[in-house]
Structures are given as C-alpha cells and as structure tokens.
A and B are shown apart, each in its own frame.
Chain A
Amino acid sequence: MISALFFLQFQSIKNRLLMRVRRLRQPKYLFGAIVGGAYFYFYFGRHFFGGRPAIDSGIGLVPEQFPFEMLAAFALFVIVISAWIFPHRRAALTFTEAEVAFLFPAPISRKMLIHFKLLKTQTGIFFTVLFLTLITRRFGSGGHAATHAAGWWIILSTLNLHFIGSSFARTLLLDRGISNWLRRAVVLILIAVIVTLVIVWGKNSLPPFNLAEISDLPDLARYAEKLFQSGPFPYLLFLFQLILKPFLASDLKAFFFALGPAMLVLALHYVWVIRSNVAFEEASVEASQKLAERVATVRSGSWQNATKPKKKSRAPFRLQPLGPRPIALLWKNLISAGQMFTLRFWIIMIWPAIFGAFIFGNTQKNSGIVVALGFFALILLFMSVIIGPQLLRQDFRQDLASIELLKLYPMSGWKIVLGEILAPIVMLTATQWLLLILALGFGAGIPSGKEVDGFIRVGMAFGIAVLLPMLNFILLLIPNAAVLLFPSWFQTGKDAPQGIEATGQRLIFMIGQVLILALAMLPAAGFFALVIFLCNFFMNPMSAIPIASVVASIVLAAEGSAGLFLLGKAFARFDLSAEMTN
C-alpha cells in the first residue's frame, strides 16, 4: 500500500516540476526564471558554489564564549512548549480535499495515512532545508554545507513530528475529559516550577544581575555562559541540544558523533507518532475544507483575507439604483474593505483625532513630543504613498477570479477600470489626508520661522492634498494594468507560478513599476517646476506651491485618464481563458 502512496507523492512532484519546466517555453516564465535565477545566484549561490566568502553577519563581533548552542536550544524549548499551550483544536492532519476523497474511503490503515502525511511533509521540509542552508551559508556559520543541510533536516523533521505527536496527545487528553484549560494550567505550572528553580539556583549560585557591572559584550557573554552552562539549564535543555548538535558541528567527525543521539531523538518521536492511535479523520476533513476555502480565497486574489472568517460589513453609503455605474464598484469594494471605511467610522474616529491634534499642537508649543508626532504623521504619509497601493488591493487584484462577472456588466471598459480602482484611491487618499491634517495640527506646535510660516504650511499641505489623489490614481493604475496585461503573474493558489520564476517575475514587476512611476512623474514634475519658476518673478516661490501643485495634479490626471482609457481597451480585450489555456 505504501508503494501506491509513494507513487502518488512522486508523480505529483514530478508532474508539478514538469509543468513548471514546460511553462518556461512561455517568455514571461522564462524571463522570470532567468531574473530569479540570477537573483538567487548573486545573493546565495556565489557563497554556496563559488567558494566566495560568506557575508559577515556580525556574529564575529560576539565573544566566543557566548552560549549560542544553549540559546538555540532554549529557543527550541520555547517552540516545543508552545505546542502544548496554544493549540486548542483536536488533532487534524491537513490533507487536500482530493486526498480526503481518495484516501479516506480507501482500505488504508490510519498508520498508513500518517506515513503518507509524513512523506508529504518531507517535500516541504526538503525545500525549507535547501533555503535555510543557502541562507546559513551566505551569512557564514562555519561547518560544512552538507552537515548544515542534514542538521536543518533533523531539526525541522523532529519539530514536525513533535507537533503531530503533541496534537495527538492533546486529542487523547481531550478524549479522556482533560480540557484544554486544564492541560494549559498543568503546562504553565510546570513552567512556573522550572522558572522558580532557575531563579532560586541563580540567587544562590550566580552574582546578582547588575547592568552597571556589565560594560561590554564579553561581560554579557560571560554572564550568559554562567547562566546557561551551570545549574538546571543544561539538564533542561539536554534533549534540545542533542537535536541541534549535528547542525552546529564544526567538522565531519563532530557531525557523526552528534548524529547518533539526534537520530535517536528523531526516531523516538517517530515511534510516538506512529503508535498514537488517535482518530484524526473527522477533524482532518474539516481542516481540508477550510484549506480549500483558504485556497479559493487566495485564488480570488484576496490573500489578506485567506485566514480571516468572512464577516458582514455595513455598506459605506446608501447605493441608489440610478446614477454613475462605477460608483457601484466603489461601493462593493469598500464593503470588502470591512468596517474601516464606512462614513460612520470616519465620523466617530476622525474628528476627535483631528481636534485632538490641533488642540495638542496649539497648547503644547515647542514640545518635543508634538514635533515628533508631527514628523511621525508625515513619515507615515510618505510611506503610505509607497506601501499603500501594495496593501490596499480592493481592485482587480481582488476581483481577478470574478473578472468574468465584471465582463458581463453593461459598462464600457474604462468605467469598469475606474470603478475597480476607485476604492483603494478613496481609502488611501482619505488616510493620507487625515495624516496630513494631523501633521498640520501637531505642526502648530512648531514655532513659525521666517521661511515656513503658518500660511505657507497650510499652502504646502493644500498642495500635497491636491497631488495625493492623482498620484494614488497613477500608482494604482500600474498594478491593475499588470493584472490585466499579465494575469497569470497574478494567479494565486496551486496554479500560481512559484519558486525561482515567481521571484523573478516579482522583481521584473517591481522594477517596471518604479520605471513607469518615474516616467509618469516626469511631466508633472516639469510643469510643477515651470510654474514655480514663472511665479518667482512676481511672488514668493513658496506661496506658488499650491498653484504649481494644482497644475501638476492636472498633468497627472491627464496621464491617468490616458492610462485609464488604454486599460479600458485592455479590459475589453481581456481573455482570462486564453491565459488559463496557456
């Protein structure tokens, strides 16, 4: 029977790899793979294959006696303990819906299913090991690449088995009437006992921890060494050290010495998991359905919502049946954003914030906190320009899976595009205007100089406020254009490009986005500078900022409108089925 399960796993991996290789016939994947491959080579590969020295990670600055091994063992201890405290569900080995449909009704024993699951997780562990080995080689941590890889495999496999075993044990406890809370209480009491032991021992055996006496890193390292390498810690962390030792081995001899005990711990975990006779099937079916729902949500483009349960959202405003159609798409996408962008939320939350900032700014003049808050608001504002369009995806990126529905609507292409991108523009602009007003409010606390008096500040704020919506318009057109022009790059779920080619595609996309933005900004910046130059002859150039901003925003609006028109045409021609066929 295990051979059939091996066959399933082997063929799945083989077919997936073949599909990815075949996909390289398409230029978009080939270029992605080349760029991604180059990135991986220059970032990791040179240090792995090329014999290039590892990048200094700063570890060398830390004194030799620093107990890295004990600290890593302690981290493993925390991870393992957390598996006994936080989870609350019954054991559920996650299978895909297809696996549930084929394997659960098949004459396969529970043990065999567990073996299949373990086999499957090994694929994931293999790639994680590869990645972690590349990273640890790049940042240089001594040892041999092969022993590093084997060390990572032992650590990850043992942890994986422990998580499965602990989930089985938790289920057995639940079946015997021991509730989650009782189990947690017992684990926490045990931790409290250990902490008490350490504190009592430390008080009796170690000099009291006094920051004044620790002047440099070697002092801290010596104290940490004493703490971890004497008293109860070595006993407590002994098993965890065994798991870590193969990874930390400095040469092959040390590795083989460490391998036996580590493999024994791994084998004991394996026996524990296989011998646990726990009914996980029902919970697994439920988990597989949830997994399928999550995949469907991710496929619909809403990866942020993949782990969130769907909740009803209040409509942002009342949608009348007659009126401009793009507003319907704005309304729909604002609903998908949740409660953050309803009129009610803004009325409740925004006015107190604005009044608070102005009152605080005016009453606490010259205060450092007010200046810091003002700058913080401004930094957030500028960050929002860059990050906002990536975070707010209530547009085609969310609706890619529903694009066939959108194509049925009696609307011209550009109106659909406008309606789709309106929601993130509105959300982003509203947030940015709020930050701008807060900065202005807190800015009242900064004393006015000759150059930047209150009037000019308001003028500059007005200028920024006028520019922001148009800038957001352009910034949001770019990723939406990418969705319509290269939809397969935005595919998510199991059909999505993964690995090197996906990394390459993302890199190409990021570079392209920056270039297009720079190109779009050039004419607007040119007109802005021209207006300031012309105004210079008859007024203070600082006072001309609002006028220049209005002109620049008109230029941006014109560029955006042209982009919108072209994108509308692209939407009318859009054929997702052709992409899928490819």
Chain B
Amino acid sequence: MEILPPVLAPTSLAAIEVEGLTKLYDSFTAVSELSFAVRPGEVMGLVGPNGAGKTTTLRCISGIIPPTRGSVKICGNDLAKNPVEAKQQIAFFSDEPRLFDYLTVQQHLEFTARIYQVANAHEIGQQLLEELEIADKADKLPGELSRGMKQKLAIACGFLHSPKVIFLDEPLTGLDPIGIRRMKNSILKRARDGAAIILSSHLLHLLEEVCSHVLILKTGQKIFDGTLNEVRQKFSQQSADASLEEVFLRATEETKA
C-alpha cells in the first residue's frame, strides 16, 4: 500500500474549464472572476484560508449552486446549458458524507446506478464495496455505520459511474490512517485512469503528495495558479527548502489587502 507519486502528465484538453466564475450573495462576493482549467490526469489542489471561497467554488462548478456570472464546462459540456450531460461526468465528495438515512448500503448503490444509468452496476458496486471493505455492511443503514464507513459508502456511490471529473472537499475528514492512505492512492489511481480532479483541503501534505498543481484563493480571488514548483519559486523568497506550509503562509500573507 505504497503511495504512488503525483500525476504530472495530463493527457489531453481541459476536462474542467472555468471562465470568469463569480458568486455573489447580495453585496458579499464569495468568488470573484475565477478562471482556471484542469486537464484529464491532473489533480488540482484548491487552497486558501477559511472563507476564501473554496467550497463555494466547488459547489458552483459541480452544479450544486448556480454561479452569478461566468461559465463552467465539464468535458466540453456547458454546465448551465447541458447540465445533464455535464453532471453525468461528475462525482462530488463533500467533507460530510451525504447519504439517505433510510436507504441501506446496497440500496444506495442500486439508487445511484439508476440515477447514473450504470448498466453493470451490480458487478462494479460489489467490487467497490469489497475494495472499500464494506461488503459485509451491504444490509446496514447509514445510522448503523461509523463515520469512516459512511465516507466509504459515499465514495462507492461516487465512483460507481466511473466519473471523468472528481471534486473532493476535505476528503480525509473522519478517515483513519489506513483510510487516508487508501484515499490518496484512490485519487492518484483515478487521475492515472484519466480523471480530472480538484481537491480542496487544508492538509498541505496531502496536496504535496497528490496534486500536480495548486490554485490559491483568498477572499474569493485567485492569487496563484500553477505547479507546486512554481508556487515555491514565487513565494519561497529564494529559500529552496521552504515547506509548502511556509509557502502557503507567505502566499496568503503577501497578498493581504
């Protein structure tokens, strides 16, 4: 169970294209004029202090909430114009697993299979449950599962339709060390298989291990978008051995309003 190296070899045109994304709540600007692209095989880390707009960005680009302005394309499909085609390619994992408390583990998979029209769902589902070591819980309700197991169930449901675009919002919350290791490997494996991944986390070591590049947000605005080496070069102040934590702190300090 060794962690695989980060993916750095994107294979084709952008799977996620965001242009001028803005989200306003009355007079409050949660995200402002955000543009970026993630290609298949890339893992982009979304970082920033609390209230930077990371979760709002993820929710906008996954179609949960409508942006005030801007466009989002998922595998070439405009999320506003062709939401069904765009969402068919997406899996979204929030920090708190969102499950229906009256459906069993197996029923969650059956339901998800119908929603995403997965013909061979039974085999894939069984395989996922075994991989995630919750096959013996197929008959349990979410209320009978631990937090980590609920997270695993959410992951199984999310991966059932083999998404090409994956959004993860603080994906390691509640997982034990083995679960964390598996999650990291799973992210990298999906990227190798061609998925474009955006990962929002405060855990900088996670970003260091799995991300090909990072996008730093502050008060809803992009302050940097590039590879880890580029971010180091820009914010390390010529200190070659600066840790990502130091770089992150400098990046967010330097751009203080």
Contact = CB atoms under 8 A, between A and B. Distances in A.
Interface in A321-339: 321-323, 325, 327-328, 331-332, 335-336
A493 B116 CA distance: 32
Given A315-B110, A327-B114, A410-B116, 9 more contacts: A321-B118, A332-B107, A335-B102, A336-B100, A408-B62, A409-B115, A410-B90, A410-B115, A581-B28
A210 interface: no
Nearest to A338: B102
B100 to A, nearest CB: 6
22 contacts: A300-B101, A312-B104, A315-B110, A321-B113, A321-B114, A321-B118, A322-B119, A332-B100, A332-B103, A336-B103, A404-B59, A404-B94, A404-B98, A407-B63, A407-B64, A408-B87, A408-B90, A410-B86, A411-B87, A411-B115, A578-B25, A581-B25
B19 to A, nearest CB: 20
B188 to A, nearest CB: 23
B102 A336 contact: yes
Nearest to A415: B84
A204 interface: no
Contacts of B107: 315, 332, 335
Interface string B214-236: 00000000000000000000000
A519 interface: no
B194 to A, nearest CB: 19
A320 B90 CA distance: 22
Contact of B117 (A319, A321, A573): A321
B114 A331 contact: yes
Given A300-B101, A335-B102, A581-B28, A319 B84 contact: no
A313 B106 CA distance: 12
B66 interface: yes
B159 interface: no
A572 interface: yes
A402 B111 contact: no
A492 to B, nearest CB: 15
A328 B115 CA distance: 7
Contacts of A576: 65
B66 A575 contact: yes
A577 interface: yes
B102 A572 contact: no
Contacts of A328: 111, 114-115
Contacts of B139: 312
Interface in A409-446: 409-412
A297 B143 CA distance: 11
Nearest to A300: B101
B143 A319 contact: no
Contact of B102 (A310, A325, A407): A310
A1 interface: no
Interface string B89-101: 0101010001011
B33 interface: no
A348 interface: no
A323 B111 CA distance: 12
Interface in B73-87: 83-87
B85 to A, nearest CB: 7
A411 B100 contact: no
B56 interface: yes
Interface in B121-167: 121-122, 139, 141, 143
B183 to A, nearest CB: 20
A349 interface: no
Contacts of A323: 114
A336 B100 CA distance: 9
A331 B107 CA distance: 10
Contacts of B116: 410
Contacts of B121: 321
Contacts of A407: 63-65
A402 B104 CA distance: 16
Contacts of A327: 114
A193 B195 CA distance: 78
A49 B80 CA distance: 56
B115 A577 contact: no
Nearest to A315: B107
A127 to B, nearest CB: 31
B84 A313 contact: no
Contacts of A336: 100, 102-103
A405 interface: yes
B87 A410 contact: yes
B115 A331 contact: no
Interface string B226-252: 000000000000000000000000000
Nearest to B117: A322
A434 to B, nearest CB: 24
Contacts of B100: 332, 336, 402
Nearest to B160: A321
Contacts of B35: none
Contacts of B26: 581-582
A320 B118 CA distance: 10
Q: List 9 A-B pairs, minimum CB-CB distance, nearest first.
A: A328-B114, A410-B87, A321-B113, A410-B88, A336-B102, A321-B121, A581-B25, A410-B84, A405-B98
A577 B56 contact: yes
Nearest to B142: A310
Nearest to A394: B102
Contact of A332 (B25, B86, B111): B111
Interface string A475-498: 000000000000000000000000
A325 B115 contact: yes
A412 B83 contact: yes
Nearest to A328: B114
A407 B101 CA distance: 18
Contacts of B117: 321-322, 325
A40 B176 CA distance: 54
A78 to B, nearest CB: 36
A176 B140 CA distance: 38
A320 B114 contact: yes
Interface in A286-318: 297, 300, 310, 312-313, 315
Contacts of A577: 25, 56, 59, 65
Contacts of A335: 102-103, 107
Nearest to A419: B115
Contacts of B83: 410, 412, 572
Contact of B101 (A310, A404, A573, A575): A310
A409 B94 CA distance: 15
Interface in A546-582: 572-573, 575-578, 581-582
Contact of A572 (B28, B66, B101): B66
A411 B83 CA distance: 8
Contact of A408 (B64, B85, B101, B103): B64
